[in-house]
Structure 1
Amino acid sequence: MIKRIETWIDSINAKYQPQRKPCSIFADEFSGFYSEQFLEDSYFVVIEETPKPNFPELRSVGLGDFIDMEVNGITYKNTYYVHPRCTGELRLHFHELVHVAQWKLLGAQHFITRYISEMQNYGYRDAPLEQMAYTLDGHYSQGGAPVDVANYVQSRL
């Protein structure tokens, strides 16, 4: 199932590649949090409906609520998808970029496996990978001092 999800993710990212925008446009806003290279290698797509893998196997392992949940953004590898109404929300972009860092550090199959396990054991809001992203986006949105997000994430995985 993990490989099937990764294949689906790769197909979604390829499908929307022409619409991707580089996160380097946030270099000034996220200075000190994300390196310029990281932002250059990260992308976002503005899309009405965030794509999710609606596989029966995912529903059978208890992830139906997550699949059906309306979200403002979702991250797949180095690309995240945001709803048009949220395009200007820096906090959301910051949050999704934390997930990009998690994907890069864990690798696709390990990230997918861990995320599914956390959703099953903790639920969306309390999943440790989500908690990490919410902690960091909260720090950023409250004007906190810059933190190297990649190092922070690596030290807590």
Structure 2
Amino acid sequence: MDMLNKIEQWIDKTNTDYKSQRVCCSQFKNEFADFYPLDFLNDAFYVVVNNIPKPDFAELHAMGLSDFIDMDAAGITYKNTYYVLPHMLDNLRVHFHELVHVAQWAELGSIAFMQRYMSEIQQVGYHNAPLELMAYELDAHFADAGKGINVPKYVANSL
């Protein structure tokens, strides 16, 4: 089994393990009305966890992804579900950011998203990875009370 399939199996198991704790992002329908359509929010979820789950495989460390795996993250997205730490629960910007990643996962598909994300981190590092830069730029636009844009469409047109 190749690494991407191994990671996807881990993601699917993680999302299944936490399924009963998921909260639907439709609760943000008012805050994010000008940015995320309700049907998108209805199919996106978050889970509050004390420790961000990450696939800590030796092969990923060997690929040069140790900094990412060991990084203290406020949240992480796997497909249509993202995980946040308790102290970030009320931080709309974190939710907004992770929902950008939900849109990226949906647009690219699992394998293509993982390939691209890992390649970007290997080549330019987490802080300069284009998928991350897109999420940070969009969450900053939201935080600055920027004009509403349909984020899933923006993501689809930008990838």
Matched, 1:71 2:73: yes
User: 1:114, 1:142 → 2: CA distance?
Assistant: 28
User: 2:21, 2:72 → 1: CA distance?
Assistant: 22
Structure 1 segments, 4+ long, off by >2 Å, are none
User: 1:122, 1:11 → 2: CA distance?
Assistant: 29
**Superposition pairs of residues 4-153 of structure 1, within 5 angstroms:** 4-153=6-155
Q: Tell me the amino acid that sits aligned with residue 154 of structure 1.
A: A
Normalised by the length of structure 2, the TM-score is 0.98
* 1:115-141 CA distance string (max 9 Å, x none): 000000010010000000000000000
* 1:14-37 CA distance string (max 9 Å, x none): 000000000000000000100000
The CA deviation at 1:155 is 1.1
Q: Tell me the amino acid that sits aligned with residue 82 of structure 2.
A: Y
User: 2:149, 2:136 → 1: CA distance?
Assistant: 14
Match of 2:65, SS state, is helix
Q: Tell me the amino acid that sits aligned with residue 14 of structure 2.
A: I
- Return 5+ residue gaps in structure 1 as ranges: none
Q: Tell me the amino acid that sits aligned with residue 18 of structure 1.
A: S
Match of 1:118, SS state, is helix
* 1:64-110 CA distance string (max 9 Å, x none): 11101110000000000000000000000000000000000000000
Identity of aligned residues (%): 54
The CA deviation at 1:4 is 0.3
Matched, 1:3 2:5: yes
- Return 5+ residue gaps in structure 2 as ranges: none
Q: Tell me the amino acid that sits aligned with residue 128 of structure 1.
A: P
Q: Tell me the amino acid that sits aligned with residue 27 of structure 2.
A: I
Q: Tell me the amino acid that sits aligned with residue 13 of structure 1.
A: N
Normalised by the length of structure 1, the TM-score is 0.99
Q: Tell me the amino acid that sits aligned with residue 136 of structure 2.
A: Y
The CA deviation at 1:151 is 1.0
User: 1:106, 1:113 → 2: CA distance?
Assistant: 10
Q: How many equivalent residue pairs?
A: 157
